[in-house]
Structure 1
Amino acid sequence: MSRPFTSLLVANRGEVAMRVLRSARAAGLRTVAVYSDADTTAPHVRAADDAVRLGPAPAVASYLSIDAVLAAARRSGAEAIHPGYGFLSERADFARAVAEAGLVFVGPGAEVIELLGRKDRAREVAERAGVPVVPRGESSTAYPVLVKAVAGGGGRGMRIVRDPTELAPALQAAAREAAAAFGDDTLLVERYVERGRHVEVQVLADAHGNVVHLFERDCSVQRRHQKVLEEAPAPTISNAVRERLTCAAVALAREVGYLNAGTVEFLVAGEEVFFLEMNTRLQVEHPVTELVTGLDLVALQLRVAAGEPLPFGQDDVTMTGHAIEARVYAEDPYAGFLPQAGTARVVRWPASDRARVDHALEPGQQVTTAYDPMLAKIVAHGPTREAARRMLVAALDETAVIGLVTNVGFLRMLAASEAYAQAAIHTAWLDSDPAGAVACELPDISGRSEPIAAWLLARAAAPQPTVAGRASPFSAADGWRSAGPPAPLTVELRFRGRNSTWQVDPVSGRLSGHGQSHCIRLVERRGHQVRLEVDDVAVDATAVVDPHRITVVVEGQPAVFERPDAFGPAATASATGGDVVAPMPGTLLTVAVTPGDRVAAGDTLGLLEAMKMELALSAPHAGVVRRAPAVAGVQVGLGDVLFSVIADTEAEES
């Protein structure tokens, strides 16, 4: 249903809700936000003209509840609903319910969502439209093959299988994950194209028969099928491939009578092009298309939903420059990319002239594992790909989040890598070569951060009372003495279990320790942000000094230094090396062992489900299971001891 409307409800949260609200307000619409109990004070709630509570924090009782969203629309008097992405955005039953309620759904019709929402049916449509598809895996005994859920997306219910013996367990795991995420455990098996590139085409279609493409995006930098960096245009495809991609995308949209914004995804291997799927919603990475075309995709979505024709034709769409987007997640790249929870004490985003930032994260905001861990998107635009890449690196240098673990430093490392600079990337780049040019191991970040930490602690070591309106050199923590030159201050730090001692002269800024010597001078300080000269080189840092530790962020990489003297004698660690704890809050999905079972190192003891992912809980060493939960399905908290395994040597002694 397409018709004019004056009010819009945004059925989402976080940065995408903020993004849609921005364009809706610019269009003069009255805006309505919805929220769960976990988001009562969230930025998107304050950004809207009105806000309606959906229900408790669990998504199934709030953002995934069709009844709750429609009730909110009725209460607020909203005439249209924008689903954003994620949650209900690709649910045909939601689009149908919105239409049956007499409201405008900003997106395609329910029938099209239903048709394209299943990858097996979408393949059939693509073949009818003459769009090439990936050969099915069962038609050949060649491996590797890709097992993927026919419903949903985001990498859930997807497994790469390289050996026939791995197929059965992969099918079981993918089916279980798909059923939990999408309520449909149907799977598709296709040939897996090694070292392919993920290239997608943005399309727009109105109710007047107009269909245009807005060129392509390259989303090849992925981790476990989740996009990390995206860019437009695709840096390595030929004009012939670009022509085939865009023509195929428009043909597919016309074949199904598509309406509104959509994205057709392809796998490109050399000059070969294969259809993957069509996403019937706004994509996370839409800003790169907006920056190179100068178009507002959300505003266009709203105009099409109101029944207006597209205000331009295909020949009017051009690309200018290059744009690259980095997705900021609350996750720890150096601990298996596990989603993180916490309170963001300090949040610093890059200046607006450096990059576009779509976000909904503010200082003091609590982030839970109840929802998707994406916090923001940082997007740089430049005249060339290299200019955009350098601007993105600089923007990530200016980004800092303290109090919550994020992937900002990892993104900076990716964008600055030689492989990415040369566009020598493919869909398996991150997953297949973690020890290569871009390492996923914890980087050695103390070299630059540690002397800064010691210097800052020396300055903050004690208050500086005044005498007759002037700072007193006798009480200032600068080592000043009346009888001679200042005495250096001693600062002790602990970083990742390693202790170091620094001698700092706060007057001259000279310090030495851990085999290093430096000279640091303060140039400017604004709140937690400091600009320093370290050995005559300008360095921007963000820092928070606590009684027991100091956190310093340089080039997006946070480093937390503890002060050993602030804790007293170190506690003796108990012999609990055999305990397996929950790395994050979640649901214990399966329990594979019972007390008394013998296990080998690495054996799976159980599966934990959290943040839409399954995490295997493995035995830390060979031995005998001493402790195991009696049943699965229970909720567990971060750090809860779930299993205990007595090592063979301990078992023999006992």
Structure 2
Amino acid sequence: MITTVYIANRGEIAVRIARTAERLGVRAVPGRPDFLDAAAQVAAALEAGADAVHPGYGFLSENAGFARAVIDAGLTWIGPAPEVIEVMGRKDRARDIAVRAGVPVVPSYSVDDDPTSFAFPVLVKAAAGGGGKGMRVVRSAPEHADAAAAARREAASAFGDDTLLIEKYVERGRHIEVQVVGDSHGTVIHLGTRECSAQRRHQKVIEEAPAPALDDDVRERIHEAAVDLARAVDYTNAGTVEFLLDAETGDFYFLEMNTRLQVEHPVTELVNGVDLVEMQLRVAEGERLDPPTGGGGHAIEARVYAEDPYAGFLPQAGTATLVRWPEADVRVDHALESGQVVSTSFDPMLGKVIAHGVDREHARRRLIAALDGTAILGLTTNTGFLRELAASEEFTEPGGIDTAWLDRNPLEPPDRGPARELAAHVWQRARQVPSGPFAADGFRIGAPAVPAVVEFEDGSVTLGPVPRELPVAIADEHRVELAHHGQRYVFDRPDPAADHAAEAGDGTVTAPMPGTVLDVRVAEGDRVAAGDVLGVVEAMKMELALKAPYDGLVTAVTATVGRQVALGAPLFHVESMVHEG
């Protein structure tokens, strides 16, 4: 019996695992900060008196060496056997196993093949790892070399392995996955499908269970394929088999297997009436699996990230000065509270909002209401974007979004007008004298009241009737920060003493995200053309090239390779070169 579980992870998943462990009477110990140091994690588990280790997801969760080290230390590993992690963690080897198990796979090419022989488009992707890292869509032979080189660099950085696969790219594909659980007695069960097609740059943002708009025959064949694959490797504990469904032909193909608990596991729990972490613990203790008998309905999960979806999904960082998660009708898995600092040192996910309803539409409406009630101030998040996506016509239609839909159809930033009007009321209420001769109500003797006007730098607002309920906000004399429909807005008041000589577009190139300077390609005095790369900044394994805004002369370089930079930090300055004649 497991008495103490060491959680080799952090954030919301650590909190979520601890919650189940403690409900079962098992002591839970959070992990130490060096989450990628296997030896340190094992030593910490032993020091804490643990007899089992749960890796959560990310970090070392799919590291076969870590699993072996845990077992060799005499601890119980809450996950599949190290050998299974090793073989299924490689997309190339997992693909071979799928073929032998009779599971359909995507048509592929060898990396040594001549690109002119490919039937484009193709997907170049890392054989190791996942999460959308090391992936490039290539649409012609001339693009292949650069795309493959970029994918290799990203794969080597993220996984320490630059091996690539090349597969047919399905233009209108849906990401369908199956939750499987196996025990040590040879039983493998599935807990149904999940739909994870709402993605940006191969990163999931909204998931749901069960996958909607699937023919019963296709759904059953996908279930069978997932179980067949798991049985082929004697799979134990929780895992997920991912498939790509061609929306145009109805064919489905094996993508990969994740040998761990998935981020999106709550939707499966809600529709099956189970606790997957409890199942993991019981399987690790040697118990036999029983298929679930409860549950029903539909569940949808939205991932809240520290990123700006209306600025290329660039990572964000800062202090979450005020955090309000929804409290009713939904489940929220998070570890973010007011006052916490969010950095780019870890994955940008801050929490998950999960709605469960009697059917998909009921769950969708609950999710929208919950995102409306979510407020995170101090840094930008994607909460408002998630709300707009969940409310969109395309998402409302079951199965209406494919994996590349968001990349083809970026959502427009919401109109700032309604939020500006609310900000004016917030600012006025925060500073007004409620009664007496100095009350800020515009009263005049013998004339109608003077309309109150609140000026912001991006426009003024003539106040009308006071809204019955004002949003979550922080206000002072000079600015108002608020959340409206989940979206964070900042409205600054004009400063009459400010120096407006230096306007935007003066040639200063700033850091578009907090991160690390990877490369500096110019020096003071260099002549550059518009679009030339000046340097590269990286955060959370995402590289972003900083380019010259126009033809000119580099007059300042403050970027230094390896240096951490804050959002908005000036890195280069280009003086415009005006050509005459």
- Could you say what secondary structure the match of 1:449 adopts? helix
**Mapping 1:356-371, distance limit 5 Å:** 356-371=331-346
The one-letter code sitting in structure 2 at the alignment partner of 1:118 is: R
Deviation at 1:595, TM superposition (A): 4.6
**Partner residue of 1:478?**
441
Amino acid at match of 1:343: T
> Are the aligned partners of 2:316 and 2:514 in contact in 1 as well (CA < 8 Å)?
no
User: In the alignment, is residue 7 of structure 1 matched against residue 4 of structure 2?
Assistant: yes
Question: Would you say the 8 A contact 2:315–2:514 is kept in 1?
Answer: no
Contact residue 317 and residue 379 of structure 2 kept, 8 A: yes
User: Equivalent of 1:277, from 238, 256, 273?
Assistant: 256
Letter in 2 for 1:261: A
Superposition pairs of residues 379-528 of structure 1, within 5 angstroms: 379-423=354-398, 424-434=400-410, 439=411, 441-446=412-417, 448-463=418-433, 473-480=436-443, 483=445, 487-488=449-450, 490-494=452-456, 497-502=457-462, 504=463, 511=464, 519-522=465-468
Runs of 4 or more above 6 Å deviation:
none
1:104–1:543 CA distance, 2 compared to 1 (3 A): same
Q: Is the 1:324–1:381 contact (alpha carbons within 8 Å) kept by the matching residues of 2?
A: yes
SS in structure 2 opposite 1:115? helix
Structure 2 residue corresponding to 1:110, chosen from 82, 91, 112: 82
Alignment-mate amino acid for residue 601 of structure 1: A
Taking the aligned partners of 2:458 and 2:28, their CA distance within structure 1 comes to: 53
SS at match of 1:564: coil
What secondary structure is seen at the aligned counterpart in 2 of 1:264? strand
1:609 aligns with 2:579: no
Contact (CA 8 Å) 1:134, 1:191: kept in 2 or not? Answer: yes
1:293 aligns with 2:269: no
Please report how far the alpha carbon of residue 176 of structure 1 lies from its aligned counterpart in structure 2 after TM superposition: 0.7
Native 8 Å contact 1:582 1:642 kept in 2: yes
Distance 1:81 1:582, change over 3 A: same
In 2, the alpha carbon distance for the partners of 1:410 and 1:242 equals 30
Partner of 1:48: none
Identity %: 59
For the structure 1 residues 212 and 317, does the alpha-carbon distance in structure 2 shift closer, same or farther, using more than 3 Å as the test?
farther
Cα separation, 2, equivalents of 1:147 and 1:521: 52
| 1:563 Cα deviation after fit | 1.7
Q: Which residue of 2 aligns with 1:131?
A: 103
Question: Aligned-pair distance for 1:489?
Answer: 6.0
How far apart are residue 638 of structure 1 and its match? 3.1
What CA distance in whole angstroms lies between the structure 2 residues aligned with 1:246 and 1:65?
Answer: 36
Moved more, 451-460 or 261-270: 451-460
Give 1:628 deviation, angstroms: 4.6
TM-score using structure 2 length: 0.94
Deviation at 1:477, TM superposition (A): 3.1
The 8 Å contact of residues 478 and 486 in structure 1, kept in 2 or not, is answered as no
Give the equivalent residue in structure 2 for 1:237. 214
Deviation string 1:621-653 (CA, Å, 9 cap, x unpaired) is 23344445787444333333333333231x779
Residue 561 of structure 1: CA displacement? 1.6
- Say if 1:457 and 1:491, in contact at 8 Å, map to a contact too: no
C-alpha spacing 1:617/1:208, structure 2 compared with 1 (3 Å): same
Specify whether residues 416 and 573 from structure 1 end up closer, same or farther in structure 2 by C-alpha distance, changes over 3 A only. same
Query: Is the partner of 1:123 in helix, strand or coil?
Result: helix
Residue aligned with 2:431, SS? coil
After TM superposition, list the pairs within 5 Å mapping 1:24-39 onto structure 2.
24-36=21-33
Change (3 A) 1:221 1:373: same
2:139 partner letter:
R
Partner of 1:171: 148
* Equivalent residue for 1:119, pick from 78, 91, 96: 91
Name the residue aligned to 1:141.
118
Instruction: State the SS of the aligned residue for 1:352.
Output: coil
Cα distance per residue 1:249-297 (max 9 Å; x no partner):
1111111111100000000014201000000000000011011111100
Match of 1:538 in 2: none
Q: Deviations over 1:532-557 (max 9, x none)?
A: 6xxxxxxxx22221221112322112
Structure 1: gaps spanning 5 or more residues:
37-61, 465-471, 505-510, 512-518, 523-530, 533-540
Paired with 1:645 and 1:573, the residues of 2 have a C-alpha distance of 14
SS of 2:31's equivalent in the other structure is strand
Aligned alpha-carbon RMSD (Å): 2.1
Q: CA deviation at 1:443?
A: 2.0
Q: Per the alignment, in what secondary structure is the counterpart of residue 311 of structure 2? A: coil
What secondary structure, in the 3-state scheme, does the structure 2 residue paired with 1:199 have? strand
Structure with larger RCO (C-alpha < 8 A, sep 6+)? 2
The one-letter amino acid paired with 1:106 is I
Cα 1:582–1:635 change in 2 (3 A) is same
Q: Secondary structure at the match of 2:574?
A: strand
Paired amino acid for 1:444:
D
Q: Pick closer, same or farther for the CA change 1:652–1:276 going to 2, 3 Å.
A: same
Q: What is the match of residue 510 of structure 2?
A: 581
Distance 1:113 1:628, change over 3 A: same
Deviation at 1:69, TM superposition (A): 1.0
> Structure 2: which 5+ residue stretches go unaligned?
none
- Secondary structure of the 2:176 match is strand
Equivalent residue for 1:153?
130
Distance 1:636 1:103, change over 3 A: same
Q: Offset of 1:210 from its aligned partner? A: 0.8
In structure 1, give the amino acid aligned to 2:415.
D
Residue 100 in structure 1 maps to residue 72 in structure 2: yes
Q: Cα distance, 1:344 vs. partner?
A: 1.4
- Provide the residue aligned with 1:553 in structure 2: 483
Are the equivalent residues in 2 in contact too, given 1:265–1:277 (CA < 8 A)?
Answer: yes
Q: Indicate conservation of the 8 Å contact 2:442/2:452, yes or no.
A: no
2:232 is the counterpart of 1:255: yes
Q: 1:575 to 1:293 in 2, by over 3 A?
A: closer
- Aligned position for 1:623: 552
Please name the residue that 1:267 is paired with: 244
Query: In 2, Cα distance between the equivalents of 1:395 and 1:637?
Result: 31
Q: Would you say how many aligned residue pairs link Structure 1 and Structure 2?
A: 573
